[in-house]
Amino acid sequence: MLKYKFTAVLALWSFIAILFMAIIGPWISSYNYSEIHLELKNTPPGAQFWFGSDELGRDIFSRVWWGARVSLFIGFAAALIDTILGVLWGSIAAYYGGKIDEFMMRCADVLYAVPYTLVVILLTVIRGTGIQTILIAMTLTGWISMARICRSQILQIKQLDYILAAHTIGASSSRIVLRHLIPNAIGPIIATMTLTIPSAIFTESFLSFLGLGVQAPATSLGSMISDGVGAMRYYPWRLLFPSFAITMTMISLNILGNHFRDLLDPRVKNR
């Protein structure tokens, strides 16, 4: 029977609460996240604005949960795309081996060597800022780590007897890869994916903080933190609430990711 640690259970419920509020939070507020009320700007937290208002009189409560929704969507979407691309690339390279493996992994090394910030800036100039640009920039090289992990697992699995038996009875390469190799490497794949999600959320927040991510009137937690830094001395609630939301999201997802990794790793499963 699996032994769930108290911290992992607490992190799970924390993440569920954040996810729940990201879904319903913008709708339970009396104000829209982009609605401007200049006469109510920088209102402290209270009955009218639960988390206060910003320099344009926008409701920070609805903006925090809308920003959490955007950040979570980008994090999960980037992790899913990285997983699909990385698993396919790594499994094909490991299965065929030889010159194909060498060529595919050297291509991955070349992409990995490209400065990430340069890629983001170039894509921003070409496509403009937005969620699509962020996803393209994050997944352009984000799948490489997944490809390496998947490749190392499948290099071990393909030497096992049941894989050799599948070759003997004439199973096709696609069937062996999709039905035998990838399912038996699913543990490290899921563990890596769960740790990719908080990394993607942090990257999106960092880009938005620099002004290269989500732009107004849309918002994300990173862009809200960027706006709140300048007002930290006089209007601290503008920085406090989005910072708390992203901190709890990152902590809960990292704890869950580490716990999944321990559960799915046979080397530490029985500790």
For residue 256, count other CB atoms closer than 10 A to its CB. 21
Please check the confidence at residue 166 and state whether its pLDDT lies above 80.
no
Which of 58-72, 97-111, 209-223 is the least confident region? 209-223
CB 42 within 8 A of CB 55: yes
Contacts of residue 202, defined as CB under 8 A and 6 or more positions apart, other chains included, come to 250
Q: CA 56, CA 235: separation in Å to the nearest integer?
A: 13
- Per-residue pLDDT at 39: 85
pLDDT band at residue 17 using 50, 70 and 90 as cut-offs: very high
Instruction: Assign residue 95 the CATH number of its domain.
Output: 1.10.3720.10
The total number of structural domains in the chain stands at 1
Q: How far from chain centre, in Å, is Cα 1?
A: 30
- Per-residue pLDDT at 16: 92
CB 238 within 8 A of CB 223: no
Assigned domain for 3 exists: no
- Per-residue pLDDT at 7: 83
Share of the chain above pLDDT 70, in %: 96
AA letter at 127: R
Assigned domain for 82 exists: yes
Assigned domain for 43 exists: no
Please check the confidence at residue 249 and state whether its pLDDT lies above 70.
yes
Q: Where does residue 258 rank: exposed (0-12), middle (13-18), buried (19+ CB within 10 A)? A: middle
Q: What is the pLDDT of residues 184-223, one digit of tens each?
A: 888 788 878 888 888 888 888 888 777 777 777 778 888 8
CB 171 within 8 A of CB 57: no
Rg of the chain taking only CA atoms, in angstroms: 22
Name the DSSP class of 179: I
- Per-residue pLDDT at 160: 77
Q: Which residues pair with 149 in a beta bridge?
A: none
Assigned domain for 31 exists: no
Q: Which residues pair with 53 in a beta bridge?
A: 59
Tell me which residue range forms the domain holding 94.
Answer: 12-24+51-264
Q: CA 208, CA 206: separation in Å to the nearest integer?
A: 5
Rounded to an integer, the average pLDDT of 120-141 is 80
Assigned domain for 34 exists: no
Assigned domain for 209 exists: yes
AA letter at 105: M
- Per-residue pLDDT at 27: 85
Rounded to an integer, the average pLDDT of 59-70 is 89
Please check the confidence at residue 167 and state whether its pLDDT lies above 80.
no
Assigned domain for 123 exists: yes
pLDDT band at residue 85 using 50, 70 and 90 as cut-offs: very high
Assigned domain for 45 exists: no
**Residue among 202, 178, 238, 230 nearest 43 (CA):** 238
